[in-house]
A = this chain, B = another copy of it.
Amino acid sequence: MGGATRRRGDELIAAIHQAVLAELEEVGLAKLSMEGVARRAATAKTSLYRRWTSPEEILLDAIVAAFPREEVSASGDDLRGDLVRALQLLLDWGRHPTARAVQAILLERGRYPELADALFSRVFDPAGGRFTATVLHHYAALGEIDSRVITPVVADIGEALTLKYLADTGTEPSVEYLESIVDQAVLPAVGLSPPGTSRAAGPGRPS
């Protein structure tokens, strides 16, 4: 079945994922269509409908496929380094076209609330709490930090500061800035004081 040049399986899916992202970039969320995606992926609409019911479903699939899984060092002896690496993973992901798709969905969540909800229930939540939260929970499980301090606010600190830097400056923060975020904001919030201050020395205070 199919000619010699017919793409199948993973290759076709990757082409369709790429097509839906390019289509979103060009026409926007409101005008996303099965026709447009099919044309751009050079495939038949029927082959899209075999797997997905709408262009939004294809978009979510593309986002899921590209979303990073946190890599937490198994040793559990480098909380600071693991937090910095989690924020670097966030920056890596920010360079992928799906990050812009996520931004588009969140900016228009007033108009497409189900799509935004699906983003959380299918992408962010299964990914284990998004970047630094995964690291913090890992070290809480090891008894290194008190799990009660990992509130929704605390789980968001590193990401919020990294994303605000990106939004304010239009450029990625340096590793040194990520280290400052970890030392001056994330670690104090979990009961570890930033280095170089003389107040509120916590039990695991570095330096």
CA distance A185 to B186 in the complex (A): 8
Is the pair A200, B197 in contact by a Cβ cutoff of 8 Å? Answer: no
User: Interface of chain A, helix or strand or loop or mixed?
Assistant: helix
Is the pair B194, A185 in contact by a Cβ cutoff of 8 Å? Answer: no
CB closest chain-B residue, reference A190: B199
| This chain: copies in complex | 2
Is the pair B203, A202 in contact by a Cβ cutoff of 8 Å? Answer: no
Known: A116-B170, A184-B189, A200-B201. A194 touches B163 (CB 8 A): no
| B contact residues around A152 at 8 Å (CB) | 180
CB closest chain-B residue, reference A110: B170
What are the interface flags for A71-91 relative to B under an 8 Å C-beta threshold, 1 for contact and 0 otherwise? Answer: 000000000000000000000
Is the pair B149, A197 in contact by a Cβ cutoff of 8 Å? Answer: yes
CB closest chain-B residue, reference A198: B146
Cross-chain pairs A/B with CB under 8 angstroms, 30 sampled: A106-B167, A106-B170, A110-B170, A116-B170, A146-B198, A146-B199, A148-B197, A149-B184, A149-B199, A151-B184, A153-B161, A153-B177, A153-B180, A153-B181, A153-B185, A154-B184, A156-B161, A156-B164, A160-B160, A160-B163, A160-B164, A163-B164, A163-B167, A184-B189, A188-B188, A191-B193, A191-B199, A199-B202, A199-B203, A200-B201
A→B interface (CB under 8 Å): 106, 109-110, 113, 116, 146, 148-149, 151-154, 156-157, 159-161, 163-165, 167-168, 170, 177, 180-181, 184-185, 188-194, 196-203, 205
